A and B are shown apart, each in its own frame.
Chain A
C-alpha cells in the first residue's frame, strides 16, 4: 500500500502548513457561470442541509461502529468490550459511551465499500461518487449542493452556501469542473480559540473604524477604477468587494462568534477544535447554510493506532453526540442530515510488528458510515461485514448510493443532468452497479 503509508505524518504536516501559510481557503461565488439545470424536486424532500463530519485519513470501522471482539486480539486489539445500544444488532466502541444511548437517532451502514486504498482516489470517490481516471474532474457533493441550493437557486445568505471548518482538503473534495464559484469557503482559524478568527472575515487587529477609514482611502486612490466606470471586469470586482464588506462589517461576523453560546453547551461539545467546529456547524445550518463540512483529521493511524483511538474517540463521541442532541433539541435534526465517515476503513489485522507496533493501514474493502437526521431513519443497521471485518458480508453500499440517497432526501433528483463543460449527458449521481439507494433508511 503505497509509499505514502509511512509518510502521512509528513503529508499532514505539509497540508497544515499550506493551509496556514496562505491562510484563507477556497470559496465560491462570482466566477464560472455554470448553467444550473432545472432540478425536478424529487419525492420525499426532507432535508434542507447537510453536516458532513469527515474523518480525514480513514477511521477504523472495527474500533468505531463495527467492533469484532470475537475475532481475537489480532483484530480487536485491546478494545474488547463494545457497548450495546438501543438498536438491535448494533454495538459500538467502548470509547463512545455518549453515542450509545442515542442510537435511535442515527443509523449505521456497516457495508460501505469501494476497494480503493489510497487517500486521494478514495477521498475523491467517497465525496464525488466517481472513480478517478475520467477526463473530467467531478465536483464533490458539497459543491453540487452549493450549485443547486446556493446562490443560483435562491439562497440569499451572507455566508457562502458551502462552508468547510476549518481547513480545506484541496482538490480531492472540490468543485471540479463546476469551477471556483462552487468551492467551499474554508474558515481557517480555530473555533476553540478565545476568538474564532475566520480568515478574511474577522480580523484580530483592525477595528471597524479603521476598516472604514481604509476603505475610504482605497476608494480615494482607485484612480484606474474611477477612470473606467462601467467596465465589466471591474464591476465584477466591485460586487465581490461589496459582498466582502457585508461579511466583515455586517452580521456575518457575529455568526462566527461562539461566545454567544452558553458555556455549558460549549463544554458538552468539548472545548476542542472538533467539538467547537460541530457547534459552529450547527450555528451555520441554523442560519440557513445548506452544506457544512467539518474536516476532522488525524485518523490515518499507521502507527500508535490504539493510543490515538483512546485520545480521539472520546472527542468524536462528545462532539458528535452533542451535535445530534442539540440539533434534535432545536427541532433541526429532521431537516439536517448528519453524515459521519472517512475515505475508507483500516486494515482489520493489526500490524504488531515494527515499524507499525500496533498500527492499521488503509482498507477500502469495507468500512462504516453513520447517518442521522434529514429524513434518515434512526435505530437501524444496514449491511454487515464478515467475522473479521475484512469484506462485506451482506448488502454492499457504494459511495454513489449513499450520495444519491442524500440527494434524494434533499429533494434533488439524482437522475437529473449534471452540468459539465463538455456538454456530456451525465447524471448527477448514477446508482452503482449492483447496488442501489439506501432505501432501508428513508
Chain B
C-alpha cells in the first residue's frame, strides 16, 4: 500500500513530502495566532506533537461551508473566494456565512437532534408540536439569542405543546416521570449522564421536576405542560453542587433550577455548551463524548476548554461569538493531513479531523450537484405536513420524516438525544450505493446540471473536468489530475458521467477535510 500510495501522491500532486501539499496546504499562516492557539500549541508542544500545516483557502472555504451551513459552496462562490485577496478574507467569509439562513437551518438540525424533535415513536410529539418547536428553535439560532435565555425559557415553559413551543422540551422525553426528566435535563444542558451519579444526587435533581404534570386536552396528542396546582407546600431542594434551599409555595422550582444552571459561575452549563460547540465543529469534543462529562473523563485540552468556557460567559452566551473564536483559530484552520501520527494526536486536535459528511448534508450535496430534488412526506396522515418541492434534508424539522438514504447514512433517530446517535461511520451498503446503485446512476444520467456542463464545455475535456472539480470538490484540478482525467477513454458524455461518479466517490468529496 505504502509504495503505491506515495507514488500516486507524487504523481497526482507533484509535491514533495517535505513541503506543503497543494492544493490542500499553505506554506505560511494567512492568519495570526489567537489566544486559543497559544494554549493549543503549548499543549501539543508539551507532548512533542507537531500541528498540521495551514489549510489552503480552497479547503477552508469548503470546510466552513460544510461546518457552518451544511452545504457545499456553489461554483460562483468558489470562484469569488478564489478572487478575494484581502488579508482578512477568511474572517469576512465566516461573518457572512453566520447570517445566512442555511446557518440557522443546519444548527437547528443539530439542536433538533439534541432535543429529540420528531413526531412519532418513541418521542411522539406529533406534527403540530414538531413544527412549532422546530420553528422556535430555528428562530433562536437565527436571532442568535443569548443561550442562557433560550435554555431558561425551555426549562420554565408552561402551556400547550402545540401553542407554547418551548414547552415541548418536556414533551420530547420518552418518560413523563421526574427521574426521566432529570436525566434528560442533565444530559442536554449539563452534558452529563445521571445514571453515573450517586442515587441521592439523582433524587435531588429529580425533585426540581417533581411537580410537573402533563394535562390531556380534547385535541389528539395535545398536552398542557404545567405545575401541579393541587400541591401547595413549599419544596426543599438541593442543587447538584450541594447547596440547599426552600422554594416557597407557589414558586416554580424549575425557575430556581434554571437560574442556578445558567449562572456565570455554574460549573456545568458553559462548559458543556462550549464543549458541544467545539464538537459540532471538529466532530469530537474536548471532553469526549460531549454528553458524558464527569470527573474521571477529563478534557483532552483542559486549558483550551477553560478558555472557551470563560469566553462564552464573557460574551453572555453569544454562541456565534464562540463559533467565530473557534473557526478563526489556527487550530481549526489546520490541514487534515497530520504531521504527527503518534497515538493520541487525534484527540489533541493536531490536525483537522476528517469525518464522513452527515447523512443530510451528503443527501443535499448529491442533489445540488446533480441539480435535482428529493421529495419527503410525513407518515402521519393528519395533520397533513406540507413539504416544498425543493425541501433540503438538512432543513427537515421532523426526525420522523426520513428516507432510506438518510437511514443508510446514519441520520440519528432522535430517540435519546445522545450525540452518539449520529453515525458517520462508513458501511458496505453505503459504499454499494455510491459505487453501483441504479439510483445514483440514474441521477447522474438525468442530471440537467451535468448535461449543461457537458454542453458548455463543447467537447473540451479540460473545461469539463475543471467544471466538475469546482462543482463537486469546490476547487480547481491540479495539472496532474487534469492529465489523469484526460487519459480516460470513452465517449464525451459517458466519460463525463464516469468522472462525476469518480469524484463523488473520492474521499475528498465524501469527507469533511
Interface residues of A (CB under 8 A from B): 3-4, 7, 10-11, 14-15, 17-19, 21-32, 120-121, 124, 132-135, 137, 160, 168, 170-172, 179-181, 183, 185-186, 197, 199-201, 203-206, 210-211, 213-214, 217-231, 233-234, 236-237, 240-241, 243-245, 247-248, 421-422
Contacts and interface: CB of A to CB of B under 8 A. Distances in A.
B513 A224 contact: yes
Nearest to B382: A3
Contacts of B501: 214, 218
Interface stretch (B37-45, B86-94, B251-259, B371-379): B371-379
Contacts of A206: 436, 441
B498 A30 contact: no
A240 B427 contact: yes
A211 B432 CA distance: 12
A224 B284 CA distance: 21
Contact of B488 (A28, A199, A217, A225): A217
A197 B438 CA distance: 9
Given A4-B381, A24-B408, A226-B9, A185 B355 contact: no
Interface stretch (B106-114, B137-145, B399-407): B399-407
A22 B1 CA distance: 34
Contacts of B435: 200, 241, 244-245, 248
B498 A179 contact: no
B486 to A, nearest CB: 11
Contact of B507 (A14, A220, A225): A225
B429 A218 contact: no
A421 B291 CA distance: 13
B425 A180 contact: yes
A221 B485 contact: yes
Given A19-B404, A225-B507, A133 B174 contact: yes
Interface in B26-60: none
Contacts of B381: 3-4, 7, 10-11
B508 A237 contact: no
A215 B508 CA distance: 16
B428 A28 contact: yes
A15 B407 CA distance: 13
B136 to A, nearest CB: 25
Contact of B508 (A203, A219, A225, A231): A225
Given A22-B404, A213-B498, A221-B502, A31 B5 contact: no
B431 A240 contact: yes
B508 A224 contact: yes
B153 interface: no
Q: Taking each of A124, A183, A224, which has the highest tally of chain B beta carbons within 10 Å of its own beta carbon?
A: A224
A294 to B, nearest CB: 18
Interface string B440-456: 11000000000000000
B426 A236 contact: yes
B428 A132 contact: no
Given A26-B407, A223-B481, A245-B435, A205 B426 contact: no
A54 to B, nearest CB: 17
11 contacts: A17-B375, A21-B439, A22-B439, A24-B439, A27-B427, A31-B410, A31-B427, A137-B122, A180-B425, A200-B437, A245-B435
Contacts of B356: 233, 237
Given A203-B441, A224-B24, A248-B432, A25 B489 contact: no
Nearest to A18: B403
B506 interface: yes
Contacts of B354: 228, 231, 233-234
A22 B403 contact: yes
B431 A244 contact: yes
Nearest to B2: A229
A227 B9 contact: yes
Interface string B392-431: 0000000000111111101001011010100101111111
A120 B121 contact: yes
Given A7-B381, A203-B441, A224-B507, A31 B481 contact: no
B341 interface: yes
A232 to B, nearest CB: 8
B7 to A, nearest CB: 9
Nearest to B21: A227
Interface in B442-488: 478, 481, 484-485, 488
Nearest to A202: B436
A248 B510 CA distance: 21
A22 B507 contact: no
Contacts of B499: 217, 221
Given A22-B404, A22-B405, A217-B499, A120 B120 contact: yes
Contact of A180 (B375, B427, B440, B481): B427
B220 interface: yes
A205 B501 CA distance: 14
B175 A26 contact: no
A75 B137 CA distance: 52
Q: 6 closest Cβ contacts across the A-B interface?
A: A200-B432, A23-B439, A22-B405, A27-B429, A224-B508, A31-B425
A51 to B, nearest CB: 21
B347 interface: no
A186 B432 CA distance: 12
A156 B505 CA distance: 26
B504 to A, nearest CB: 9
Contacts of A241: 431, 435
Nearest to B8: A226
Contacts of A18: 402-404
Nearest to B180: A135
B431 A243 contact: yes
A322 B50 CA distance: 66
Given A18-B403, A217-B498, A224 B408 contact: no
A369 to B, nearest CB: 23
B287 to A, nearest CB: 18
Nearest to A22: B405
Nearest to A223: B12
B66 to A, nearest CB: 14
Most buried by B among A3, A124, A180: A180
A421 B501 CA distance: 37
B168 to A, nearest CB: 18
Contact of B505 (A29, A183, A218, A230): A218
